[in-house]
Structures are given as C-alpha cells and as structure tokens.
Amino acid sequence: MFKKKSSQDLSATELRRLLVDKRRSERSERLNRFRETGRVVTLVSEKESSWDDMRSEALEEEQDVQKGKAKKRGRRAVDGILFAVEILAVVGLVFVLFNGLDILNELNREVAIALEQPTLTPTPLIKAVVLPSGHTSPSAEGGSRENIEEIPEHLRPLRDSYAEIPIPVATVGPKQAIRLQIPAIGQDVPIVEGDGWEQLKKGVGHHIGSTNPGQSGNIVLSAHNDIYGEIFRDLIDLEIGDEVILFTERESFTYLVTQIEIVEPTQVEFMEATADPTVTLISCYPYLVDNKRIIVIAKLAN
C-alpha cells in the first residue's frame, strides 16, 4: 500500500507541485460556484490549465519575488552610497569650518603683529648737569675751548653723540627775549636761542625750555666773560637793586638784582623753575681762570 509522505520528506519540486495542485483545485471550485450562481459567462471554451501553465505561473511569481528582493538590495546599496556621500559631506564641512577658523586666527595674529607698536628705545632725558658757558681759560695751553672736563665722565659719550646732531635755527616768537640791557655795566647785546658752545659765540644765550620775559618762572641767560666779546665780564660789579632789562618784539620788562653768588659749575639748581618771574644770569668766573660760575638773580620790578 502507498504510504503518504510527510511534508518534511518532500522535495522542493514536490512541494511546488502540491501547491500548484491546491491552487488549481481551489480555482476550479470557485469557477464551479460562479457558474452555478450565474456569475460566470463562458465566452470561449476554456481549457483547463495544464500542469506546465501552472508551473509557469509559479515560476513567474517566484521570479517576481526574486526581482523584488534584487530591487530592495539595489535600493539598500544606493542608500548606503548616499549615506556615505552625506558622511563625507559633513566631514568636509567640518574640515572647512576648522580650516576657516585657523585662517581667521592667523589673519588676526598677522593684523595684531602689524598693529603692534615697536618697543621704543628709551631716549635719555636731557637735563643740565653743569651750568652753561663753561670753557677753558684763553691763557691755557691750546687756547680757549669748551671745557669737557666739567662734564661727568660717564656722560661724555652722550654729549659727544648729541654734538653730532645739527643744531636747528630757532624761530623767535613775539614773546621771546631778543635783547638784553644792563645799564650799570654798559651792556646792550642780542639774545639767541640756546646756550651751547656755538650759540654763545653770537651773544647771550637763552636756555631752551626756560620761560619768557614777564612770565612766571625762571629765564636763564648765559654768556662768556673773557672770550667772544666778554659780555658778562663785569657781572661781579653789579649791586643789589641794579636793573636788568629784557626786550621782546613788542615789550620791555625790567628786573631788579636781588642776589649775586659764586658757585661750582655743577650747582644746576639755579637753573630750575621759580614761582615768580625771575631772570638768572650765568657766566664763568674768575676772569681768565674760569673754574667757577657767577650767578646774578633778578626779580621782575612790576
């Protein structure tokens, strides 16, 4: 007797055939029901589908399933490619942003360097260390010349460096002193700006930075006593109360002598500013020796 096989013992071909048979049987039953109820109109004589036709339909369905799977695999591949492209785009964008920040920082550094002020070399503050008009005696060996020995040794190189700088010609303003009269010793001489060696060859030198006639402060004037006209030779003959008259382009100012001193060349405190209008006259002393200074101080009369 034929023994019915279990579904687990059937091959794939046998299972497919059973499936086709089942579908054909179900189809025939549906058609019969439709005929009995008049829901089917036979137009052409129908031939029952052969086994080959049913097999062909099953194969077509299986091919459609395989095509669907292939399409899904293709879509997944395309999606993977698109995802990879998106990842690369994000990485590229991040790189561009970071690279842009680096470029911006570099530009900021370059601008900061360009705008940074260079470190300035400090320029020594020029302050008088000896009183002006110093020179050697005309009777000394080599004649009269600027007395460098009075300048402290450590400052002499600085003095030499400034000696090489051309001296600008000062423009005299309407309030600056241009002439000096001392009636008691018969002096009526021009005043020039500056009290260096070259300026004192031309007359009385006005120390640059000191005040102007009639103003509060100290007007410092110096001249030689035994060379270049011996302008201040007779300062020692002045007395308290004698007149010292300063002229500008428009006015004259009279000062009265209040103090006469013999000091060392380094006593530069006599050149400092004062609270009231003052004129200070400076020259070498004694005559033809020139190792000290004579100081005459006068105050504004009015």
Residues with a known catalytic role: 224, 284
Cα-based angle 210, 262, 277 (whole degrees, multiple of 5)? 30
Report d(CA 225, CA 223) in Å as an integer: 7
Under 8 Å between Cβ of 297 and 285: no
Q: Computed from CA positions of residues 61, 65, 68, 73, in that sequence, does the dihedral angle turn out positive or negative?
A: negative
Q: State the CB neighbour count (10 A cutoff) for residue 52.
A: 8
Helices and strands (DSSP H and E) totals, the chain: 3, 8
Please give the C-alpha separations between residue 239 and each of 154, 197, 245, 282, 299, in angstroms, as whole numbers: 39, 28, 15, 15, 13
Residue with tokens 């005459």: 296
Exposure string over 238-259, b if 16+ CB within 10 A, otherwise e: beeebebbbbbeeeebebebee
* DSSP secondary structure letter of residue 291: S
Report d(CA 268, CA 151) in Å as an integer: 12
Phi, psi of 282, deg, nearest 5 = -130, 140
